[in-house]
C-alpha cells in the first residue's frame, strides 16, 4: 500500500511562522502522529507532500522510510496528490491522509482499507450535527455518487449531515487517471481530490464507505483553539486507558502524557503531573501533585512528593523523593534513598539507605550506602573548564554547610564537621574539620549610615 500524507498547508489561523503540521500535540508534531499511525499499517511507501515553511518539514522529520515531495504553489488537495503521483506504486492501493488530522486510529484506517480491497474506492465519512464547512456525501439511495464542497453545495445538499473526512483509499492506476482529469472550475478555483468520487462512479468503480468509532478521529487542526481541544481529547483518552489498567488518578482531566507511560499495579498519580519521553512506574508508586517526570525508571514502592522534577533518572525501591526535589540526567538511586526538599542531584549514584534531606547540590558524585548528607552541602564539581568527581564511601556523615572541592574522596565511616571546605581526601573513620577560628571582639561597633 502507498500512503500519501498531505502536509503543505500554511495554517493562517494558527498565527505562527511554524508550519501547521509541526505544531506539537502531546509533545510531538501533529504530522508525527499521522506518520506513526501510517507506519503501523506496514505501507510500502509513505509520501509526504509539504509546502509552507520550505524545507522545515522534511528537515525536522527526515527518515529513511519517508519520501518528501514539494507542492508549490498550493492549489488544493487534488493538486497535492498530483505531486506524489510519480512516487506511487501502481500495483497497490493508495491511502490519502492529512498531516493536521492526528487522532485517526489504525483500526479505523484498517477497516477503510479492507472495504476498498484492491479495486474499489473507499471513503471515510462521519455524521455531524453541524456539518458546516465540510464536503457533503451525496448518495443515490445508499450508493455514494459524489462529494460536494460547502461553497458549491445547494441548499438541500447543505442539509446533509454525512460529511467527507478527506481520508480515502483508491486503486492507484485509476487514481492517477482521475487526477489528470481534475478541473479547478469551482468557487475556490482549486483542484479538489473529492472530484475523483464522481469520476469513479462514471467509470463504474464501486465506492465503499466506513465510519470511525469516534468523531474525534476525524477532527483537524486549523487554529490554536482546535489544537488545545485535541490535546485534551488525546490526554483524556490516555487517562481512560490508565484508569482501565488500574491506575488511580486524582483527576483524569489533569494529567499530561507526552510520550509513553507504563504503570505497575496500585500506582497513584495526583493532579497536574506531566510525563515526557519514556517513563516506567513500578508497583505501588505514588506521584504527588505537580511533578514533571521525563525519561525515568521508578521502582516499586517509591514516593515522589509534590513539585519534584525528575529527568533521566533511575530510582530504586522504596525511595522517597521531594517535595521540590530535582533529579537530573545520570542520577541513579538505590533502595530506600531519601532525597528531600530543594535537593538537586546530577550525574550521581547513591547506594541504598543514603540520605540528602535538605538544601543540597550533589553533582558528579559516587555516594556509598548509609551516607548522610547535611543541609547546605555542595559538591564543587566544576573548575570553570572541566568536571571532577567526588567519592563519598559507605557510612560517611557529611555535616551541614560543607563544600567538597572535587576531585576528592571521603573515606568509609568518615565524618566531616559542619562548615568544612574539603580540598583533600578525608581519611576513613575520622573526623575532619576545616573552618576559620572563631573569635569575638568586645566593644565592636557597627558602622552607622552617614547622613547626607
Residue whose C-alpha cell reads 539507605 in the numeric block: 353
Instruction: Tell me, yes or no, if 353 is annotated catalytic.
Output: no
Residue whose C-alpha cell reads 571532577 in the numeric block: 388
User: Which residues, including other chains, have CB under 8 Å from residue 173's CB and lie 6 or more apart?
Assistant: 90
As a whole number of angstroms, the distance between CA 290 and CA 274 comes to 7
Between the CA of residue 401 and those of 322, 358, 413, 418, 433, what are the distances in Å?
A: 20, 11, 19, 6, 12
As a whole number of angstroms, the distance between CA 369 and CA 351 comes to 5
Q: Contact, 388 vs 363, CB < 8 A?
A: no
- Active-site hit among 309, 338, 358, 388: 358
Residue whose C-alpha cell reads 533502595 in the numeric block: 335
As a whole number of angstroms, the distance between CA 53 and CA 209 comes to 34
**Closest residue by Cα to residue 53 from 99, 101, 17:** 17
CB atoms near residue 336 (< 10 Å) = 18
Q: Contact, 82 vs 103, CB < 8 A?
A: no
Catalytic residues: 358
Amino acid at each position: 500500500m502507498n500512503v500519501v500524507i498531505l502536509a503543505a498547508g500554511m495554517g493562517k489561523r494558527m498565527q505562527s511562522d511554524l508550519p501547521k503540521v509541526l505544531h506539537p500535540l502531546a509533545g510531538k508534531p501533529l504530522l508525527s502522529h499521522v506518520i506513526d499511525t501510517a507506519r503501523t499499517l506496514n505501507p510500502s511507501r509513505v509520501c509526504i507532500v509539504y509546502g509552507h515553511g520550505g524545507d522545515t518539514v522534511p528537515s525536522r522529520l527526515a527518515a529513511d522510510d519517508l519520501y518528501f515531495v514539494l507542492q508549490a504553489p498550493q492549489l488544493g488537495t487534488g493538486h497535492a496528490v498530483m505531486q506524489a503521483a510519480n512516487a506511487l506504486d501502481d500495483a497497490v492501493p493508495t491511502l490519502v491522509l492529512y498531516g493536521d488530522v492526528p487522532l485517526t486510529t489504525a483500526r479505523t484506517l484498517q477497516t477503510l482499507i479492507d472495504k476498498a480491497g484492491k479495486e474499489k474506492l473507499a471513503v471515510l465519512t462521519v455524521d455531524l450535527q453541524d456539518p458546516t464547512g465540510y464536503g457533503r456525501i451525496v448518495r443515490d439511495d445508499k450508493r455514494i455518487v459524489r462529494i460536494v464542497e460547502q461553497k458549491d453545495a445547494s441548499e438541500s445538499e447543505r442539509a446533509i449531515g454525512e460529511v467527507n473526512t478527506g481520508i480515502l483509499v483508491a486503486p492507484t492506476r485509476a487514481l492517477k487517471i482521475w487526477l489528470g482529469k481534475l478541473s479547478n472550475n469551482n468557487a475556490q478555483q482549486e483542484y479538489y481530490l473529492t472530484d475523483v468520487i464522481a469520476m469513479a462512479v462514471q467509470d463504474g468503480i464501486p465506492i465503499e464507505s466506513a465510519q470511525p468509532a469516534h468523531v474525534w478521529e476525524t477532527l483537524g487542526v486549523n487554529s490554536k483553539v482546535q489544537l488545545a481541544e485535541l490535546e485534551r481529547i488525546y490526554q483524556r483518552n490516555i487517562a481512560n486507558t490508565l484508569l482501565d489498567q488500574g491506575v488511580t488518578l486524582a483527576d483524569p482531566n489533569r494529567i499530561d502524557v507526552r510520550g509513553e507511560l507504563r504503570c505497575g499495579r496500585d500506582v497513584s498519580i495526583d493532579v497536574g503531573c506531566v510525563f515526557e519521553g519514556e517513563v516506567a512506574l513500578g508497583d505501588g508508586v505514588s506521584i504527588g501533585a505537580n511533578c514533571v517526570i521525563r525519561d525515568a525508571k521508578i521502582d516499586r514502592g517509591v514516593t515522589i512528593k509534590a513539585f519534584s522534577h525528575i529527568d533521566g533518572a533511575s530510582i530504586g525501591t522504596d525511595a522517597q523523593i521531594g517535595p521540590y526535589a530535582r533529579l537530573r540526567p545520570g542520577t541513579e538511586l538505590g533502595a530506600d534513598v531519601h532525597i528531600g526538599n530543594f535537593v538537586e542531584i546530577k550525574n550521581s549514584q547513591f547506594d541504598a539507605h543514603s540520605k540528602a534531606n535538605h538544601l543540597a547540590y550533589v553533582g558528579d558524585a559516587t555516594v556509598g550506602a548509609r551516607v548522610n548528607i547535611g543541609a547546605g552541602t555542595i559538591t564543587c564539581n566544576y573548575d570553570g573548564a572541566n568536571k571532577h568527581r567526588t567519592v563519598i564511601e559507605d557510612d560517611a556523615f557529611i555535616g551541614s554547610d560543607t563544600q567538597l572541592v572535587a576531585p576528592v574522596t571521603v573515606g568509609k565511616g568518615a565524618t566531616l564537621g559542619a562548615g568544612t571546605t574539603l580540598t583533600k581526601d578525608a581519611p576513613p573513620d575520622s573526623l575532619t574539620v576545616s573552618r576559620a577560628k572563631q573569635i569575638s571582639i568586645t566593644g565592636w561597633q557597627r558602622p552607622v549610615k552617614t547622613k547626607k
